[in-house]
Amino acid sequence: MNQLKKYFLLAILSFTMPVCTFADEGMWIPLLLDQARYERMKQMGCQLTPEDIYSVNHASIKDAVVLFGRGCTGVMVSNEGLLLTNHHCGQSAIQSHSSLEHDYLTNGFWAMEKKQELVNPSLTVSFLVRMEDVTKRVLKDIPLAISESARTGLIQSILERIVSAEAKKSPGHRYSLKPLYNGNQYFLYEYEVFTDVRLVGAPPSGIGKFGGDTDNWVWPRHTGDFSIFRVYADKDNNPAPYSPDNIPYQPKKFLPVSIKGVNEGDFTMVYGYPGSTEQFMTTQELEFLTKTNLPSKIDLRTRRLDIMAKAMDSDANVRIQYAAKYAGISNSWKKWQGAVHGLKRANAVSVKKQREAEFEQWANQNDSLKMKYGGIMGEFQRIYPTYEKYSFISDYFGETAMAVEMLDQVARFYSFSNNASWKDTSKLRQEVKNYTNGINGFFRNYYQPIDKKVFSSMLLAYYINVPKRYHPAIFKKLESKYKGDFDLWADDVYRKSVFSDKDKMMTIMQKFSVSTLKKLRKDPAMEIYLSFSDVLNGSIVLPFNKLSTQIDSLYRIYTAGIMEMKKGKFIYPEANLTLRLAFGKVEGYEAADAIDYSWFTTTDGVLQKDNPSIYDYRVPLKLKEICEKKDFGRYAAQDGNLHVCFIASNHTSGGNSGSPVINGKGELIGLNFDRNWEGTMSDMLYDPNQCRNIILDARYMLFIIDKYAGAGYLLDEMKVVL
């Protein structure tokens, strides 16, 4: 075979569907770890058995991995309930305890004994008890000749019945039933949920968020992105609401922490809860995202972030109030930019077209396949242009009107006031109390000058960029009364509305009754929200939902076709915030021509980035002194340097933040916390040459706890191994 033919064959093979043949791509269901995948893991250095990784019958690594909060992962590292996750995963909890007097975001927090640990009432930690394939139970009674909307409703009722039946077996557990492969398979997940979770330690932002949003999604990285919590249980080791009588939870399994370190080429396994991927995305959707949808959302978030940054830079209290909000907005904003760049660099549209051509050729090879799959790509092409129009407006509404905090508060109040259970007086009192507590939380982290500028900027963007046919009627008042001046409109709305004033809101809640909503319909903020809602509900929701249902149906059939076409090969399901494992190895990458990145960073880079005039790059003085002396003790690498982060080729996604990174022996070698900018498109297209996950080295984490914070007693709880 000559070189040209060989290259051509490899190129064609690389265009196959999301099937793991050459790269160690994929987020695998641990229960279904197949022999071929396991053999590949062993070849790369894994010494664990499948039972070590996942077992229902005895303690396994899955019992040490938790769903932290609503969208992160954590790992148990002691027999006394000690849990590690990322700093950015714990940031909301850290912020909730912070003030100008106790600025734990800037200065860090360390409980030197258990009684100093801080309670977090809204935080949960969920342990997976088991997962079960229930596809046959879900689909066995679904007729073939049924509309897609009827099918969706029938499946939903079946899912609810299954969850209800399972919940009766273990009333204290939470159950979740999720589709895989775009509705071709269904899995039931059973969780034990703990609600008494206390903050134990967090490094200062100069360590835990070093580099801030500038370094986010970027390699090389020098961020000590970790925080420490403790899970508490009742005297029988069961979940219980907070009580001073609760005791540290004893997990079925916790991971030893290795200080041996890693080398290039070492096996790595990420075990956690990746949020979402879209590997089956079609050409039409990919082009819409890269050319229209993501660029517009990037632009809108750029404007919001600029407004917030100016206020945060000039007021320390505002910086504390908006730290978590800014990070949340910025996180997707920067990821989207990297994804667009990476998809273009990888010629993703061409790759998708080639894959779809391969699928169509297969689907049209005989009458049987043609009947099931023959016209599927044509249907995508027919429906998607109309879907794009409604999708754009729906997303634009979310990124403009609903980005205004005051209008989001109106939406919450409107939903609360329309609750059908208000006839129950006792429930009404309790719900009013709960909602009032929510108002306190809202205004604790609210700065009206920011929100007013966001209001003007975002609604102006909607006014300019959305066709007039989809303008809310309230814009007529803007044009007549305020002569199109959005700043003047904002001044009037925020001066008059009760929803931007805590005292007015609290007064309303003290007198709340079923007629309160009716009285507030003339509030200027409520008028704006209802006017936008009229457009959304009257012109967008129904056609958008109808088209979404059709497209979901097409994806289900398309995915079924791919599975049939690739029968016997390894196709991983999309991530959906359920437990998965991904494996790879420690390795650098070439980011661009003549830009070749190493696989690790050291504290030398921390010192090089130090800039006291920039908040995100202010290295704490104590850390600077230790690093300059290279007083790293047992945490140093063989060359005497202290490694901060490293990268590997594990396939990860949002939700994998805080996931344990495990070596071949089942030891914790780091915490996953990010991806490289060039590889952020991995949710849609995985490129083994570019996609890397960024990991906090366990040695740096232990060094910070021990030598920087002086909290070595926490290491005494852990099993630290060489």
Query: Residue 570 — very low, low, confident or very high, per pLDDT cuts 50/70/90?
Result: confident
86 vs 646: CA distance, rounded Å:
15
pLDDT value for 424: 65
Residue 335: half-sphere exposure toward Cβ, Cα within 13 Å: 15
562 vs 362: CA distance, rounded Å:
10
Sign of CA dihedral 164, 165, 166, 168: positive
Residue 468: half-sphere exposure toward Cβ, Cα within 13 Å: 2
Query: Residue 376 — very low, low, confident or very high, per pLDDT cuts 50/70/90?
Result: very high
> Does residue 429 have a pLDDT over 80?
no
**410 in Cβ contact with 525 (< 8 Å):** yes
Query: Residue 170 — very low, low, confident or very high, per pLDDT cuts 50/70/90?
Result: confident
Task: Work out the angle at residue 693's Cα, subtended by the Cα atoms of residues 590 and 252, and round it to the nearest 5 degrees.
Answer: 155
Residues 6+ apart with CB under 8 A from 437: none
% of the chain exceeding 90 in pLDDT:
84
pLDDT value for 72: 98
Distances (CA, A) of 475 to 459, 463, 467, 480, 658: 10, 8, 13, 9, 45
Averaged pLDDT, 450-456? 98
pLDDT value for 581: 97
Using CB atoms within 10 Å of the CB of residue 230, give its burial: 0 to 12 exposed, 13 to 18 middle, 19+ buried.
Answer: buried
659 vs 693: CA distance, rounded Å:
11
Task: Decide: helix, strand or coil at residue 380.
Answer: helix
35 vs 446: CA distance, rounded Å:
53
pLDDT in tens, 227-244: 999 999 999 999 999 999
89 vs 125: CA distance, rounded Å:
12
CB contact burial 621-659 (16+ within 10 A = b; e otherwise):
eebbebbeeeebeebbbeeebbbbbbbbbbbbbbbbbbb
Query: Residue 348 — very low, low, confident or very high, per pLDDT cuts 50/70/90?
Result: very high
371 vs 87: CA distance, rounded Å:
52
687 vs 127: CA distance, rounded Å:
32
> Of the candidates 394, 387, 217, 392, which has an alpha carbon nearest to the alpha carbon of residue 295?
392
Neighbouring C-beta atoms of residue 484, cutoff 10 Å:
12
Taking each helix axis as running N to C, give the angle between helix 316-345 and helix 294-314, from 0 to 180 degrees, rounded to the nearest 10.
Answer: 150
pTM of the predicted structure, to 2 decimals: 0.87
pLDDT in tens, 286-327: 999 999 999 999 999 999 999 999 999 999 999 989 988 998
466 vs 396: CA distance, rounded Å:
8
Domain boundaries, the chain: 388-571
Q: Which residues are catalytic?
A: 88, 225, 657
> Does residue 13 have a pLDDT over 60?
no
Phi, psi angle pair for 272, to nearest 5° = -175, -155
Question: Considering the chain, what is the average pLDDT of its residues?
Answer: 92
> Of the candidates 203, 246, 254, 242, which has an alpha carbon nearest to the alpha carbon of residue 94?
203
